[in-house]
Amino acid sequence: MAKGFWTEQKKWLLIALVIIGGGILFFTSHNERFYQQPIAKVISEKTTGKRKTKDQFENVDHQYNQQLKVRMMNGKYQGQVLTVQNTYSDSRPMDQRYRVGNDIFLTQVRKQNGKLSANVDGYKRDTVIVFLLWLVTLMLLLLMGHAGLLALISVVINAILFLIAIEIDLKQNGQHIMLLFSVLAIIFTFISLLLVLGFSKRMLATFAATVIGTFVALGVSVLVFSWTHERGVYYESMEYVTQVPRPLFLAETLLGSLGAVMDESSDIIATLFELKQLNPQVTRKQLFISGRNVGKSIMGPLVNVLFLIFMVDTFTGSLLYIKNGNSWGYTYAMNMSLGTIQSLISGIGIVLSVPLVSLFGALLLGKGTRK
Amino acid sequence: MTTITGLGLVLLILMVLVGGKQGWTAFLSLLLNFGFLYFAIILVAFHVPPLFVTVTIGITILAITIFMGEDDLRTTITAFYSSLIVLGLILILIFAVEHWAMVQGFGTEDSDELEGMSILIGISYLKVSVTTTILSTLGAIAEAAMAIASGLTEILENHPERTNRQLIHSGMAIGRQIIGTTFNTLFFGFFGGFLALFIWFLGLHYSFGTIMNNKIFVAEMIEILISFIGVLITVPMTAWVMTKRRKSVVDNSMKIK
């Protein structure tokens, strides 16, 4: 790596981040007292029974009984030791095998005849998230410096706005979810680009191209929806639906594609700026061609980025469908068709933005050479 | 005509109009990636070890995404090498994190959809969760590697005299310019898909502690954060691979001219 990477400043930043990280991780792994729900630590475990299960599709699995000796970590029984029962299987779809040192949540802790008993409710996972958050922050700040900090702030602000929008949506019972998330999409784009690029012509060009690209793509897709009478769109296969599925699906798609379109627009403009910096005399035509070249090479991979994000989420569900004797076609329709549609709509947005943003960038930066 | 066919046709036409031959191969790469993803599910269903499926299908998807997304071998070979290295590094991290977090399979929120299903299928859901986390990250790694590699190729083409240090510097500069928006791509890609889940959480007034330990939420967060880490490693890795390959990149540029 380049010399001079480890500046004095970075050394101190690293030391500070490691100390802070260690502190936060220690806190998260010892924060039981802040939980209302009883938490216990496994101090010994013993697997007692084993039995074979077989379903009508010839899937063979084994189930085990596990006896856990645990110490209460919070609440009024803190410090007391009790024994709880747990079951787990080889495949572990919804059950867990616990090991010594694991923190687990308990329910129905009660004292009968002087003996404590409880049921196992789940595994404590907050430390994992905190660790990964810390790792991302550390790498962002060390590798990317100032830009990394801004990217971090942008993600945090977007996450907060996202939560506020959901609260508003819940207050309205999902009545205007499309309108709400369309407005939010525009605000998201503006804030993200403002933070990443700063307020400039370059940012406005990227902003305009992103918003136009995304909404035109959604418009085109809604047209295709009505032409094809939404054949093969199984809204009933959507997960975790608590509101009217169709607008919810469109809002999900809008948000999902927004980031990618923004990404592509700014990648093209970023390269145009690098070129402009290296050669201030570059013409509009050269810039447009370079922009389109960058766009052409990014659009495929970028569509694939979203495709993988949207489709891989259905992997486990599809696997289960196949193992439950469903045909490959039915498995696809019930698990993957909505993901496919989302990928296609995002793809349309991504492709539409290539000429748009190259044109804006070229007009903004290039020297006109028309004689 | 179904909606999927209709949208697919629109995408195909647009891709060919904007990207010409390259647009056509980009569309084809999407189809192939779908094929291989589905193939991966079938393989796992037939009890092929998930780790083996992950590595082989993972490398295949990387190759398809990179080599079919762009013709310029100067860019693609660099991007492919660096994303392979990143894939290896990320695999180790995911393996450790998934075993620590134990977010395999399904959560209690999935109960409705699992009704009437036999979930004890004799395949380790934990191994499957390693597979899904890696596969969902691959696109982002390939994309970042290509963005850096293609930017550096443009620079080498115009300024072949740049030193290795300057090249890494330029690579990190491009990295800094794309990192914010790449994070946004991943953030929106994942959060868009989980809008419904968050409406569920907030609608049912889950507490902060409950959400932070919720199996589905943690699984999703791991996917997002691992993707972030993957992209972050990719930037210097690609710049570094480019300095190793600069000679062949510059030579090829000469030939093209």
What phi and psi, each to the nearest 5 degrees, are found at residue A88?
-140, 165
Give the range among A202-206, A304-308, A342-346, B98-102 with minimum mean pLDDT: A202-206
What phi and psi, each to the nearest 5 degrees, are found at residue A123?
-100, 145
Q: Is residue B108, in this structure, part of any structural domain at all?
A: no
Contact B118 A323 (CB under 8 A): yes
pLDDT digits (tens, 9 = 90+) for A325-347: 999 999 999 999 999 999 999 99
Q: Average per-residue pLDDT in chain A?
A: 89
With beta carbons under 8 A apart, name residues in chain A contacting B33.
304, 307-308
Strand A81-89 to strand A60-72: parallel, antiparallel, or no bridges (unpaired)? antiparallel
E strand or H helix at A222, and its extent? helix A201-227
Contact A55 B118 (CB under 8 A): yes
Q: Is residue B3, in this structure, part of any structural domain at all?
A: no
Using CB atoms and an 8 Å cut-off, which of residues 28-57 of chain A contact chain B?
34-37, 53, 55-57
Interface residue of B9, B113, B166, B183 to substitute, partner A, most A CBs within 10 Å: B183
Distance of CA B153 to the CA centre of its chain: 22
Of A1, A196, A35, A155, nearest to A103 by C-alpha is: A35
- Please give the structure tokens belonging to residue A60: 């063979």
Contact B177 A340 (CB under 8 A): no
Question: Is pLDDT of A371 > 50?
Answer: no
What phi and psi, each to the nearest 5 degrees, are found at residue A36?
-70, -40
A306, A343 Cβ separation under 8 angstroms: yes
Residue B215 is predicted with a pLDDT of: 94
With beta carbons under 8 A apart, name residues in chain A contacting B135.
308, 312, 315
Mean pLDDT of the A241-267 span:
90
Of A348, A359, A346, A366, nearest to A209 by C-alpha is: A359
3-state secondary structure of A54: strand
Q: Is residue B110, in this structure, part of any structural domain at all?
A: no
Computed on alpha carbons and rounded to an integer, the radius of gyration of chain B in Å comes to 20
Determine the Cα angle at A189 with ends B194 and A139, to 5°: 70
What's the maximum distance between 2 C-alpha atoms anywhere in chain A? Answer: 99
Distance CA A256, CA A236 (A): 20
Q: Is residue B1, in this structure, part of any structural domain at all?
A: no
Contact A259 B186 (CB under 8 A): yes
Is B184's Cβ below 8 Å from some Cβ in A? Answer: yes
Residue range A35-124 in CATH 2.40.50: yes
Is B24's Cβ below 8 Å from some Cβ in A? Answer: no
Tell me the pLDDT of chain B (257 aa) as tens digits: 899 999 999 999 999 999 998 899 999 999 999 999 999 999 999 999 999 999 999 999 999 999 987 778 888 999 999 999 999 999 999 999 999 999 999 998 998 888 889 999 999 999 999 999 999 999 999 989 988 998 899 888 888 888 999 999 999 998 987 888 888 889 999 888 789 999 999 999 999 999 999 999 999 999 999 999 999 999 999 999 999 998 888 887 776 65
The architecture (CATH level 2) of A172-365 comes to Up-down Bundle (1.20)
Buried b (16+ CB within 10 A) or exposed e, A279-317: eeebbbebbbebbbbbbbbbbbbbbbbbbbbbbbbbbbb
Contact B37 A238 (CB under 8 A): no
Contact B184 A342 (CB under 8 A): no
Query: Closest residue of B to A265, CA-based?
Result: B181
The residue with tokens 């390269």 is A271
What ipTM did this prediction achieve? Answer: 0.93
Which DSSP string do the residues of A271-307 spell out, in sequence order?
HHHHHHHH-TT-BHHHHHHHHHHHHHHHHHHHHHHHH
pLDDT digits (tens, 9 = 90+) for B91-135: 999 999 999 999 999 998 998 888 889 999 999 999 999 999 999
E strand or H helix at A68, and its extent? strand A60-72
With beta carbons under 8 A apart, name residues in chain A contacting B193.
252, 256, 309-310, 313, 342
**Structural domain count of chain B:** 1
For residue B128, what are the domain limits?
A: 50-56+70-101+123-256
Interface residue of A223, A344, A358 to substitute, partner B, most B CBs within 10 Å: A344
Distance CA B239, CA B78 (A): 9
Domain ranges for chain A, please list them. 35-124, 172-365
With beta carbons under 8 A apart, name residues in chain A contacting B23.
296, 299, 351
Residue B255 is predicted with a pLDDT of: 67
pLDDT digits (tens, 9 = 90+) for B149-175: 988 998 888 888 889 999 999 999 989
**What's the distance, Cα to Cα, between the start and end of chain B in Å?**
47
Contact A224 B72 (CB under 8 A): no
Residues in chain A, overall count: 371
Distance CA A47, CA A88 (A): 10
Q: Is residue B219, in this structure, part of any structural domain at all?
A: yes
